[in-house]
Amino acid sequence: MQPTPSVRRRLIAVLFGAVGLDRIGFLLAVTVATLAAEDMLGSPLWAGLPAAVSVTGMALATTPMSAFMGRRGRRAGMVLGQTIVVVGAGISAAAVNIASFPLLIAGFLLFGIGNSADRLARYAAADVATPERRGSAIALVVWAGTIGSVIGPALLEPAQRFADSLSIAGLAGPYLFAGAAYAAAAVVIFTLLRPDPLDLAGDERPKPGSRPVPVLELLRIPKLLFAVVALVVGQVVMVLIMTMTPIHIRSAGQSLGIVGLVISAHTLGMFALSPLTGWLADRIGSLQVVLAGEGLLLVSAVMASFAAGDQRTLLVASLFLLGLGWNFGFVAGSALVVEDVTPEVRLRAQGVADAFVWLSGAVATFGSGLILAGVGYSGLSLLGALLVLVPPAVLVAQRRAVAASI
């Protein structure tokens, strides 16, 4: 089925709106996750565990969710994921209210499982777009995160006041608001995402009786391997620094409003310039944009290593660049994932790439508290700077291998 340009624009607009709502909920939930955990445990040592469990759930659910979408369509998969998140947000709110850390872990596990569908939404945009516009289509949907980056952190204090008005724990409020945002997104997708994006990319649906391509076989494709490495490193570096920044700020005696300001700057960097990133990927190539992102990540990590918890200007600047570097790698890397794969294995490649990304992010989230306790915020940031050197090293090794084979 060949859609008209107006149908393409409408479907991408629907994805944009739904993902924007999802990001509002996501930012509300994750910003207070480490704070809620620290309050329950009395220490930042395991404060990253709920978010780590969430990302682990996302990693484990990504490949099955991608396969489910292959059978039932993008719309059904996204609605299923958003429904699971609503349940997880409700459980998390209850956990915060009764100060139950195990219940918070259960809520965040569901939160992550459901979010696997939201993270695959950028590929739904690629389904709708023509091949030469895939980078821009992915970027536009990622750009929807700008809505969350502005509105989400700004709702932290109103959500806290709302919870106080209900005579429940203040940090439960953001989870109530998050559940409402995801519920609204589910309604938008269910009613408006028609036709299903995969119906416009019929050659990507798995053929009856076909077997999944082994992961190692996929990773023998040079561009796909480099894309996965870049996506993984970008996620790990971003998560290491971003996850522990709220604790770094609060340990310096700063308010929740300052936490929201810094995280808002970070998420603006993650999403606000996505159209430019997509345009650059389509014009100069995804590989070049990924490498530019690595440079931005390196600069931001070094800057963060010099930032005290009360140096809000330096933290805002470094976290903004951290988000922007991640954006370059995420948008261009996502386009690179499908650049050299055949249509019939595209869904498989997307699921495998995202599984690696979210699993590595889970490890980074889990380890961030331990690293912070061991070497401090400065040491954690410098570790991120060292990791940024890995993707360029992989690229150099690939090119040497090609040269040696000629």
| Residue numbers in the chain where pLDDT is lower than 70 | 1-2, 44-45, 149, 202-211, 255-256, 402-406
**Mind listing the pLDDT tens digit for each residue in 59-73?**
889 889 988 998 899
Q: Nearest Cα to 339, choosing from 397, 286, 391?
A: 286
Q: Nearest Cα to 19, choosing from 106, 131, 124, 113?
A: 124
Query: Which residues touch 185 (CB under 8 Å, ≥6 apart)?
Result: 17, 18, 19, 21, 22, 25, 82, 118
Q: Nearest Cα to 178, choosing from 204, 197, 156?
A: 156
Angle formed at CA 286 by CA 221 and CA 194, multiple of 5 degrees = 90
For every residue of 102-150, DSSP letters joined together read HHHHHHHHHHHHHHHHHHTHHHHHHHHS-GGGHHHHHHHHHHTHHHHHH
> Cα(339)–Cα(317) distance, rounded to whole angstroms?
33
Alpha-helix residue ranges (DSSP H) falling in 272-345: 274-284, 286-305, 312-337
Q: What is residue 258's predicted lDDT score, i.e. its pLDDT?
A: 74
Q: Nearest Cα to 333, choosing from 373, 376, 288?
A: 288
> Cα(348)–Cα(217) distance, rounded to whole angstroms?
11
Q: What is the CA radius of gyration of the chain?
A: 20
Q: Tokens standing for 111?
A: 């939160």
Domain boundaries, the chain: 5-202+215-405
Query: Which residues touch 188 (CB under 8 Å, ≥6 apart)?
Result: 14, 17, 18, 21
Q: What is residue 206's predicted lDDT score, i.e. its pLDDT?
A: 56
Superfamily holding 5-202+215-405: MFS general substrate transporter like domains (1.20.1250.20)
Q: Tokens standing for 294?
A: 């690595």
